[in-house]
């Protein structure tokens, strides 16, 4: 089952990849018919989103990410500076490994951190709203 990190990012499993490859092979045939029951729900939702944006004449971008990210790419995804990310790595707050003299992070770990960050932000915001309500 695909891991939905937010409205824009989805991490797929090996099972998702196999299902997508099977459907892609079918779609390459002449007079192909798309059988959505063979696809994970999140993949169908993404296809529908692409079709909706295209139908409205909108612009979209689809990008495949490697299994491992550079610190610059990971920092950009997280919306933080690279030095802040390096501090998090040194403190063990996000897993990373070294390739030569450079650090690499698993894409899944980066999106897990992104999700957890957003949850912490939501909780802090909810707490602020609650405190503000108590003052009224």
Could you tell me the residue ranges of all domains in the chain? Answer: 3-55, 68-135
| CA atoms of 85 and 133, how far apart (whole Å) | 35
Extended beta strands in the chain, E state = 3-4, 10-11, 68-70, 97-99, 102-106
Q: 83-120 burial string, b = 16+ CB within 10 Å, else e? A: eebeebbeeeebebeeeeeebbbbbeebbbbbeeeeee
User: What is the pLDDT, as a whole number, of residue 2?
Assistant: 47
CATH 1.10.1660 describes domain 68-135 = yes
Residue 103 confidence class, pLDDT cut points 50, 70, 90: very high
pTM greater than 0.85: no
> pLDDT, tens digit, for every residue of 53-94?
899 998 888 778 889 999 999 999 999 999 999 999 999 999
């Amino acid at each position: 089952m695909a891991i939905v990190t937010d409205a824009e990012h989805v991490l797929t499993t090996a099972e998702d990849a196999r299902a997508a490859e099977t459907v892609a092979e079918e779609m390459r045939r002449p007079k192909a018919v798309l059988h959505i029951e063979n696809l994970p729900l999140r993949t169908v939702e993404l296809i529908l989103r692409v079709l909706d944006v295209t139908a409205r004449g909108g612009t979209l971008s689809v990008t495949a990410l490697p299994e491992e990210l550079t610190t610059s790419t990971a920092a950009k995804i997280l919306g933080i500076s690279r030095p802040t990310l390096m501090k998090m790595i040194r403190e063990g707050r996000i897993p990373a490994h070294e390739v030569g003299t450079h650090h690499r992070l698993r894409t899944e770990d980066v999106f897990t951190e992104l999700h957890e960050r957003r949850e912490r932000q939501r909780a802090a915001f909810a707490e602020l709203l609650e405190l503000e309500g108590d003052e009224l």
